Amino acid sequence: MTVVLPGMTADHQRVEFRSSGEHDSLIDRWKSKNMDQLIELCNKTPVWNDDTQSYVLNFHGRVTQASVKNFQIVHESDVEYIIMQFGRVAEDVFTMDYRYPMCALQAFGIALSSFDSKLACE
């Protein structure tokens, strides 16, 4: 998963993003590699666990059940700084944590969109 967000100023304010035309959306800028004032985030790569014979992510106890819907979002420059994590804690219960530079609305939108492509995976 790739996440593209408006960037932040030096004083921690969100950069205002306004499309200048029909082909100037966040996705258009990302596709053309015009990342001025944008932040590109991605899934943290899981590591192989010999004990469980599977790929795992460390959710530090916040996620308690395995699921294809579990994920962590990081910036490539610091993969240990987890900006967002989302995962299953019960049959139909999930937890979501986020932090700077993401806001609650962005995190919630990302969490909701993660269900769209994985509806029949389990």
pLDDT at position 54 is: 87
Percent of the chain surpassing pLDDT 90: 61
Mean pLDDT within 28-38: 90
Collapse the DSSP code of 116 into the 3-class scheme (helix H, G, I; strand E, B; otherwise coil) and give the result.
helix
Rounded Cα–Cα distance for residues 37 and 48 (Å)? 35
pLDDT at residue 119 greater than cutoff 90:
no
Run of H or E including 89? strand 84-90
97 phi and psi angles, rounded to 5 deg: -125, 145
Round the average pLDDT of the chain to a whole number and report it.
90
Run of H or E including 115? helix 104-116
User: What's the token pair of residue 104?
Assistant: 């609650």
State in words which class domain 2-116 has. Answer: alpha beta
pLDDT at residue 116 greater than cutoff 90:
no
Question: Confidence class of residue 117 from pLDDT cuts 50, 70 and 90?
Answer: low
Buried-state track 55-75, b at ≥16 Cβ within 10 A, e below 16: eebebeeebeeeeebbbbbbe
* pLDDT tens per residue, range 41-97: 999 999 999 998 888 999 999 999 988 899 999 999 999 999 999 999 998 899 999
Percent of the chain surpassing pLDDT 70: 95
